Amino acid sequence: MDGIVAAIQGRAGSDADPKYTQGGKFMVTFSVGVVVGKPPHEGERAPMEWVRVTCWDEVAEKMQARIVKGVEVYCEGKLTLGRWEGADGSPRSGLNLSAWTVQPVGQIGRRVPQEARQGASRETNGRAAERTMASAVAAEDNDAIPF
């Protein structure tokens, strides 16, 4: 593979924005804030770099509802530097990641499949119900799709 391959982890700065290209290819874009150092003084925020992430096809379909502002996310893909002209005419630039892997971090228990919820409500043994939901969520969270 040509280019720069990168992995980032940070918090989504925006909800996923689903779109179709002119050729009909499905894509989702969102921004990710990545902490790049320690805060200069106590009580201040750490410096961040913002990366514009784009994912495609099956990955985009799975992530469009799961990527919301503030969720922590891990992404792998090809890193490029985008350049454009700002509204005031000044030259601007930013990092873009075309991601083949996107995985929300720490979402166990947030998206329990409907069948696990229904089965759990009918269970008489509470521990069995917890195991059913945990295994369903773990299976769902471990199926990041690489390109």
In a domain, 15, yes or no: yes
Residue 74: what residue type? Y
Confidence band (pLDDT; 50, 70, 90) for 130? very low
Measured in degrees and rounded to the nearest 5, phi and psi for residue 22 equal -60, -30
pTM of the model: 0.67
> What's the number of domains the chain is made of?
1
- Would you say 51 and 96 are in contact if contact means Cβ atoms under 8 Å apart? yes
* 131: in domain: no
Full residue range of the structural domain in which residue 27 is found: 4-107
Residue 13's CB is within 10 A of a number of other CB atoms, namely: 15
Is 24 within the bounds of a domain? yes
Q: How confident is the model at residue 139 (pLDDT cuts 50, 70, 90)?
A: very low
**In the structure, what pLDDT confidence band is assigned to residue 99 with cuts at 50, 70 and 90?**
very high
In a domain, 75, yes or no: yes
**8 A C-beta contact, residue 139 and residue 95:** no
Q: Is residue 113 part of a domain?
A: no
Give yes or no for residue 106 having a pLDDT over 70: yes
Q: Check which CATH number belongs to the domain holding 29 and give it.
A: 2.40.50.140
Does 90 reside within a domain? Answer: yes
Query: Is residue 12 domain-resident?
Result: yes
